[in-house]
Amino acid sequence: MPIHRRRFLTALGAGAVASTAGCARLVGGGGEGGSGGSDDRPAVAGETLTLTTTTSTYDTGMLDEIHTDFEEMYGVTVDAVAQGTGAALESARNGDSDVVMVHARGLEDEFLRNGYGVNRRDLMFNDFVIVGSESDPAGIQGMSSATEALTAIADAEASFVSRGDNSGTHTKELNLWEAAGTEPGGDWYQETGSGMGEALNIANQQGAYTLSDRGTFISQRSEIDLTILVQGPIEDGPEILANPYGIMAVNPGVHDNANYDLAMAYIGWITSPGTQDAISDYQMNGEQLFFPEAVSEDPDFQQYVPEGWSSDSSDE
Amino acid sequence: MPIEPVVGLLPGLLDLPFRDGYVSSVIYVSLYVSLTAVALSTLFSVPVAVLIGFSEFPGKGFVKSVVNTGMGFPSVVVGLVVLFAVSNQGPLGSLNLVFTREAMIMSQFVLATPPITAISLAAVSGVDDGVRDAARALGGTRLDAALVVLKEARYGIATAILAGFGRAISEVGSVLIVGGNITGADGISKTRTLTTAIQLEARQGQYETAMILGAVLVVLVLTVNAVVVHFGDGGVNR
């Protein structure tokens, strides 16, 4: 940001004839302020890191809880913008954010392959659950296969609420329908185009089924009558309902104004043992919402590259 | 008059599950953004309204239609256009305005300008031609005449400003897109306004807190209206 302020002021200075001296002084001042002079403060102090992330991480309040630590450590501000996964990646693609934290591996991989993201790390995970009213008109309670459950819902034409907003949860839901070999459609299938909390409320009012991340469901459980009918892998459900979160820095080669060094400091900090413990300790209504997975003794090269990528293959 | 509802709300405010300073910072951002946008908009719109109102030119009706159509601009579309402009890839990208209050002011300026211009224009046009002619006949310049007409039309212009303010402070689509609804980790709003805060609560299914924030917004708009109307009346009686 300071670079651009300087560039802007330089342009102003060049344009103005009468006040050249004044502008030159301004330019100098901006430069000094931007590079953060004094010895006891880190050079990044005062900068802002823009993080675009998903509603499911933001709405749990977990980020606010842990960000204070990072802000104090570096003397910086983190602007967390909650969007859907699709929108969060789009903002980053336009160079409007410095780091992205999302949960849709397919979209993350596309982002990496197109050169917008670098230095991807696996961050944490929780899981998706299929929730619905206790009356369970499609009889999916306790099914061990998510795809069979969706097929049963489609066969029964029982109401299903879809996020319909290109979020990570929506992407997962579409993948599940595809895996189930069913094309959802008809009066029973409603795309709401809303956040998870709203989708849960709509499902609650209509006695419909929906796919939810466990975190949002837990945070809202006390206010709605829905119950978990098909568990995710955290409670021994099918692995297909896993919900892994990844974090990537915006490629400074594509967007030269991306705050890359601070983004990498952030990725280093959030994947460090201390912060991973803080993520694991964060609870809502007595339940853990996110399970850290960045710290591991064993190498996991697949987290750095698009899934299935190998240097041997002809793939780019 | 609006004091009673404010007092009635206080217990509700104290119960809100927010951190210290959150609600007041959100109110501050709402007022800062909307008032700045409306002030800039007024500085732009009123002279334009006087200019259009005072001159006769072919296509004047068309210009009026365009301004009136502007009152119906969907705020989401305005937000998208402003986002495109200020995005790092856009024409104003190097100013780094994305997710800032300045970008929010830009989009609200675009939203508030058509109603302020249109209603001011109606107010100016409504002033009896005799007033203007008299001012000119008494040896006034065009500027003098304009000032006299503005003075006559001040109540209508106050209404125009209020309409613009109402549009700015109550819209959610564009400030959400260009502002990003950001609050710091310390719970102090950076670009979160009352409307986007309400949207956030509704997204999480917290309809009660959303309603309370909505009541705060209504009281805020009422207060601003009361203040403006008070001064407007004072001007009329003076």
Q: What is the mean pLDDT of residues A85-93?
A: 93
Q: Domain range holding A14?
A: 2-35
Of residues B215 and B13, more confidence is placed in B215
Number of domains in chain A: 2
Residue B93 has pLDDT above 70, yes or no: yes
| Residue A56 within any structural domain of the chain | no
Q: What is the mean pLDDT of residues B74-96?
A: 91
pLDDT in tens, A191-241: 988 888 889 999 999 999 999 999 889 888 888 899 999 999 999 999 999
pLDDT band at residue A284 under the 50/70/90 scheme: confident
Lowest mean pLDDT of A117-126, A150-159, A293-302, B203-212, name the range: B203-212
Residue A223's CATH number: 3.40.190.10
Q: Which residues of A are less than 8 Å from B97 in CB distance?
A: none
Contact A77 B184 (CB under 8 A): yes
Q: Which of B89, B93, B185 sits opposite A68 (nearest CB)?
A: B185
How far does A201 lie from chain B, in Å, by closest CA? 6
State whether B204 and A197 contact (CB < 8 Å). Answer: yes
**B183: nearest Cα among A99, A91, A59:** A59
Residues with Cβ within 8 Å of A190's Cβ and at least 6 positions away in sequence, in order, are A159, A160, A161, A162, A202, A208
Residues of A in contact with B205 (CB under 8 A): 197-198, 200-201, 220, 223-224
Structure tokens at A175: 């993948």
Q: According to the model, what pLDDT value does residue A314 have?
A: 54
Q: Which residues lie closer than 8 Å to B60 by C-beta, 6 or more apart?
A: B52
**Band of the pLDDT at A35, cuts 50, 70, 90?**
very low
pLDDT the model gives residue B15? 59
Query: Which residue among B87, B94, B203 sits closest to A198, beta carbon to beta carbon?
Result: B203
pTM of the model: 0.81
Window A:55-74, CB contacts with B under 8 Å: 55, 59, 63-65, 67-68, 71
Mean pLDDT of chain B: 87
Q: Which residue of A has its CA nearest to B84?
A: A94
B203 touches chain A (CB under 8 A): yes
Give domain status of residue A113, yes or no.
no
Chain B residues in contact with A195 by the CB 8 A cut-off are 203-204
Q: How far is B29 from chain A (nearest CA, A)?
A: 15
State the ipTM, two decimals. Answer: 0.79
Residue A2, pLDDT > 80, answer: no
Model confidence at B9: pLDDT above 80? no
Residues A96, B183: C-beta atoms closer than 8 Å:
no
Interface test with A, best of B86, B176, B182 (most A CBs within 10 A): B182
Mean pLDDT, rounded, for A134-162 = 93
pLDDT of residue A39: 57
Contact yes or no for A116/A205 (Cβ under 8 A): no
Q: How confident is the model at residue A76 (pLDDT cuts 50, 70, 90)?
A: very high
pLDDT bucket at A14, cuts 50 / 70 / 90: very low
pLDDT at res. A29: 37
Nearest CA in chain A to B181: A81
Please give the distance of CA A119 from its chain centroid, rounded to a whole number.
15
Nearest CB neighbour to A96, from listed B88, B183, B204: B88
Residue A177 domain flag: yes
User: How is A126-174 classified by DSSP, letter by letter?
Assistant: EEEEEEE-TT-TT--TT-S-HHHHHHHHHHHT--EEE--SS-HHHHHHH
pLDDT at site A40: 66
Q: Is the pLDDT of residue A124 over 50?
A: yes
Q: Which residues does A222 contact at the CB level (< 8 Å), separation at least 6?
A: A285
Q: What is the pLDDT of residues A246-256, one digit of tens each?
A: 999 999 999 99
The confidence band for B178, taking pLDDT boundaries of 50, 70 and 90, is very high
Which residue in B98, B203, B206 has the most chain A C-beta atoms within 10 A of its own C-beta, making it the best mutation to test that interface? B203
What integer pLDDT is reported at residue A162 of this predicted model?
95
Provide mean pLDDT across the span A270-293.
93
Please indicate whether, in this complex, the C-beta atoms of A198 and B185 are within 8 angstroms of each other: no
The minimum CA-CA distance between B187 and chain A, rounded to whole Å, is: 8
Of A198, A224, A255, which is closest to B88 when you measure between CB atoms? A255
CATH homologous superfamily for the domain B3-232: MetI-like (1.10.3720.10)
Q: Is the minimum CB–CB distance between B204 and chain A shorter than 8 Å?
A: yes
- Rg of the Cα trace of chain A? 23
Residue-wise pLDDT for B109-164, tens only, equals 999 999 999 999 999 998 888 888 888 888 888 888 888 888 889 889 999 999 99
Q: What is the per-residue pLDDT for A10?
A: 44
Domains of chain B, by residue range, sit at 3-232
Residues 6+ apart with CB under 8 A from A8: B94, B95
Residue A173: is its pLDDT beyond 90? Answer: yes
**pLDDT of B6 above 80:** no
pLDDT at A186: 85
The per-residue pLDDT for A51 is 96
pLDDT at B238: 40
For residue A79, give how far its alpha carbon lies from the nearest alpha carbon of chain B (Å).
Answer: 6
Of B89, B185, B205, the CB nearest to A198: B205
Q: pLDDT tens for residues B181-223?
A: 999 888 899 999 999 999 988 888 788 889 999 999 999 999 9
- The answer to whether the Cβ–Cβ distance between A195 and B95 falls below 8 Å is no
Q: Judge whether B32 is closer than 8 Å to chain A, CB to CB.
A: no
Q: What percent of chain B has pLDDT over 70?
A: 90
Q: What is the phi/psi pair of residue A168, to 5°?
A: -60, -40
Query: What are the pLDDT digits (tens) for B138-153?
Result: 888 888 888 888 888 9
Inspect the interface and report whether the beta carbons of A67 and B89 lie closer than 8 Å. no
Question: In Å, how far is B32's CA from the nearest CA of chain A?
Answer: 19
A and B: number of Cβ contacts within 8 A: 76
Shared domain check, A29 and A135: no
Which has the minimum average pLDDT: A141-155, A181-195, B99-113, B220-234? B220-234
Chosen from A79, A163, A200, A224 to mutate, greatest number of chain B CBs within 10 A: A79
Structural Rg of chain B based on CA atoms: 20
* pLDDT recorded at residue A18: 38
- Res. B169: pLDDT tops 80: yes
Q: Are A203 and A209 in contact (CB under 8 A)?
A: yes
Residue A69 lies in a domain: no
Residue at A303 is within a domain: no
Q: Is residue A62 part of a domain?
A: no
Q: Does residue A76 lie in a domain region?
A: no
Q: Any chain B CB within 8 A of the CB of A161?
A: no
- Asked if residue A103 has pLDDT above 90, the reply is yes
Say what the pLDDT of residue A160 is.
95
* pLDDT mean over A40-52: 85
